[in-house]
Amino acid sequence: MRLVLASNNAKKLAELQALFTPLGLELVTQGSLGIAEAQEPFHTFVENALVKARHAAHESASAAIADDSGLSVEALGGAPGVLSARYATLFDRPKSDADNNAVLLEQMQGKSARAARFVCALVAVRSADDPEPLIAMGRWEGQLLDSLQGEGGFGYDPLLFIPSLNASVAQLSAEQKNALSHRALASVDLLQQMREVWHLG
Active site annotation includes 68:
yes
Question: In sequence order, which residues have a C-beta less than 8 Å from that of residue 192 and are 6 or more positions away?
Answer: none
Within 10 A of 38 (CB to CB), how many other CB atoms are there?
18
Look up residue 120 and give its amino acid: C
Question: In sequence order, which residues have a C-beta less than 8 Å from that of residue 105 and are 6 or more positions away?
Answer: 146, 147, 159
Question: In sequence order, which residues have a C-beta less than 8 Å from that of residue 94 and are 6 or more positions away?
Answer: 88
User: Residue 106 in contact with residue 47, Cβ under 8 Å?
Assistant: no
User: Residue 156 in contact with residue 101, Cβ under 8 Å?
Assistant: yes
Question: 20: exposed, middle or buried (C-beta count within 10 Å: 0-12, 13-18, 19+)?
Answer: buried
Q: At what angle do helices 182-197 and 10-20 cross, to 10 degrees?
A: 40
Pairing of strands 115-125, 63-73: antiparallel
Which residue among 68, 97, 129, 157 is the active-site one? 68
Residues assigned a catalytic role: 68
